[in-house]
Amino acid sequence: MHVVLRASSPDEHTLTRIAHGRLPTFGKFKYPVTRRCDHTDNWHGEEVPDPYRWLENPDDEEVQTWVDAQNECTFAYFNANLEPQRRLFCERMTALYSYDKYGCPMQYGDLYFFYKKTGLQNQFVLYKQAGLNEEPTVLLDPNTMSDDGTAALQGHYFTEDGSKLAYTVSMRGSDWYSIHVMDVATGKELPDRIDWCKFSSVAWNKTGTGFFYSKFPPPEGLQGKEGKSAGTEVDAVEGNKVFYHRLGTDAAEDQLVYEAGAENNKWLLSCESSDDYQTLLINIHDSCDPVNRLFYLDMSRFDGASVATLGRLVKLVDKFENKYSYITNEGRTFWFLTNLDAPRYKVIKMTLPPAGSPMEADPASLALVPRVDVVQQDSVAVLEGAYAVANDRLVLLYMRDAYEQLEICDLNGGDRRSIQLPSIGSIEGISAKKTKNEMFFKFVNFQDAGTTYRCEITRKQDGKIEISRDVFKRTVVPGLNPDDFETKQVRFKSTDGTSVPMFIVGSKGQRGAAPCLLYGYGGFNISITPSFSLSRLIFIKNFGGRVCVANIRGGGEYGEDWHDAGVGANKQNVFDDFISGAKYLCTINLTTPAQLAINGGSNGGLLVGACINQQPELFAAAVAQVGVMDMLRFHKFTIGYAWCSDYGNPDDDKNKYKVLRAYSPVHNVAPDAGRYPATLLTTGDHDDRVVPLHSYKYAAMLQSVIGSRKGENNPLLIRIDTRSGHGAGKPTSKVIEESSDIWAFIARHTGAVWRD
């Protein structure tokens, strides 16, 4: 496989346009000219300039010219300054990445299914096999769906008997995907296809003759515009609805099951079938907050043809106050994972009223349905997930101090057992079904690519159960020895005295200051647990570096309280934590400001942007990937409105505006700030999660304000990938290419030297 170390080659038209701009020279940088406009916005009585508002229009020819010129500038710098480190990194990663990668087996009907990526394949392939020891065959290969490897499987949904598969495919990294259906026995794709789905799921009926799903109306920006591909638009997505599709019919005939109405057109809907296929559950979110409404419809009399045979819509939970995630049910008794009076989560059970009873139509009566604790909230650990297995058992996934643990109990929370794990690490995947006595899970850590375990739950004659745990498949990376590395967990004090955990990964026995990469995220209740990254280990092994992961506030490492301490008016805590972690690493002599790089993506890209604005001289290099950079306009684009739960909405009031204005990366680049680190922004032209205009505007501001200063020689660059999105489904070829650029950039500016 040949990996090209540059963006897509510009065509003749692109080169002609670039020729009319200013190309960079090195030493003192001359960046491509970015036109400033005189646009201003009035925010609660304050006039705020937005000189790069024009960069928000992805269809504008001037924006395309700007993108081409920026890429030309960036890759000219890479070619002149990052060799041979970039080539050596690429060769090393290509050689090591060729190991086979596996997911956990899943069983439906009499068949097992699993994902596997062989060598340097761009995407994972779905296989089927008659038994765990039988020869597998390919069921679905997305590598055949596009010439450049950018078609990706986003989800799979089998019927209970495993005879049919509904699967979702995205193109070029976009969040948009289409639903397709396959006959598993023949491998034949059925004519059923549904487009314009996003953040959806598929819920089959019991007989496998149809399924429920949600979708959005096609964006107006794509209607009647030939040549404009899904994923480049920036308009807000609204109007999510739940439909029923009967196999063999045209998608245009699909029947509406539920819509929230115009007043709630930003609600996000998903659906799932209960284990016994007697109930359809509809989950409703209005933001990224861990709260949802939960409605259901009885399917016991559903004929598979007309939604009129479904039961009435029952609004079991009709307020956005807590989170309820379905686990399993026994008849009308349902088990849920919830944060109801439990910021670290617990399991409850609820017995629903009889289907069709008047009580279902009475909100007051539904509110009085008892919520009975089954697994109580732990005093320290966060209950991240619960899964039904072996008919009457629950698998409990806990997180304690940012690493994960497994337990099994019965449906009443009794007979608790721990499943032994080899070390501190994470559970990358769990495959468990209520009707099966076996389960699989994959364990990984920072230095080990992972081991898949098979657990069997057997019941003895006396009624007691036994749980076995055996290695099913161990992932080996030829040429990489996990024992060459070591991981430590430390704690440091933040600005306000809060104790924050951090993982430090390096070579075994490594001492003294060294080039270092500090990674963080800090938002949306997302926990950063140990994970395997080949590129990080190459940086450690071949560049003599260290990688540190700070579990800063805003994440979910310690439950809702930890998350709440980093949102809204508390967002500065996130940046303080990260900056304090950087200073701690320097204080204990693991690195120095001249050797320290920082990195984060998405909300973590915002983290990087805010921190280099606030403490620029603390870092030698910074890489912000697909970051949220304009905090006054983030809620205007695609799904950005859902992030107001973490950030706040600047439209609401002056106080929220002031909080966002105070740290928004685009609005806080000061000409009198200290020396900025070498900075690389990355984005994709098909990123419709965090639209690329965020990175465009921040790059323009950095180059204009900081790059124009006398003696400012550190590069301030943006790398804009084509046919690429927010990150999910990115093909192997692009992963290696981008990783080589990023790590060579980090090495160049932290003083790291390649060693074989």
Pairing of strands 678-684, 621-625: parallel
Catalytic residue, from 721, 726, 740, 749: name it: 726
CB 207 within 8 A of CB 277: no
726 is catalytic: yes
Please state the separation of Cα 126 from the chain's center in Å. Answer: 21
Closest CA to 155 of 177, 186, 127, 188: 177
How many angstroms separate the CA atoms of 374 and 393, rounded? 12
Pairing of strands 485-493, 516-519: unpaired
* The Cα angle at residue 726 between residues 628 and 24, in degrees rounded to 5: 70
- 226 φ, ψ to 5°? -70, 140
Closest CA to 392 of 369, 420, 414: 414
CB 408 within 8 A of CB 393: yes
First to last CA, the chain: 22
Question: Tokens standing for 88?
Answer: 């050596």
Question: Tokens standing for 582?
Answer: 């950087």
What are the DSSP calls for 295-311, one per residue?
Answer: EEEE-TT--SS-GGGSP
Q: Which long-range contacts (CB under 8 A, 24 or more apart) does 464-473 make?
A: 465/390, 465/393, 465/415, 467/408, 467/417, 467/419, 469/419, 469/420, 472/105, 472/132, 472/440, 473/102
Helix boundaries (H) for 50-181: 61-81, 85-96
What are the DSSP calls for 127-190, one per residue?
Answer: EEESSTTSPPEEEE-GGGS-SSS-EEEEEEEE-TTSSEEEEEEEETT-S-EEEEEEETTTTEEE
b/e per residue 448-482 (b: at least 16 CB within 10 A)? bbbbbbbbebeeeeeeebeeeeeebbebebeebee
How many angstroms separate the CA atoms of 398 and 414, rounded? 16
CB 614 within 8 A of CB 743: no
How many angstroms separate the CA atoms of 534 and 511, rounded? 22
Sign of the CA dihedral 631, 632, 638, 643? positive
CB 163 within 8 A of CB 181: no
Which helix (H) or strand (E) covers residue 15, if one does? helix 12-19
Catalytic residue, from 50, 175, 289, 687: name it: 687
174 is catalytic: no
How many angstroms separate the CA atoms of 703 and 699, rounded? 6
CB 273 within 8 A of CB 202: no
For residue 576, give Cα distances in angstroms to 145, 547, 569.
Answer: 45, 19, 13
- Centre a 10 Å sphere on the Cβ of residue 39 and count the other Cβ atoms it contains: 12
Catalytic residue, from 178, 270, 602, 664: name it: 602
Closest CA to 644 of 660, 629, 667: 660
How many angstroms separate the CA atoms of 597 and 196, rounded? 39
Q: Residue 68, SS3?
A: helix
Q: Which residue has the tokens 């679905």?
A: 140
Catalytic residues: 602, 687, 726
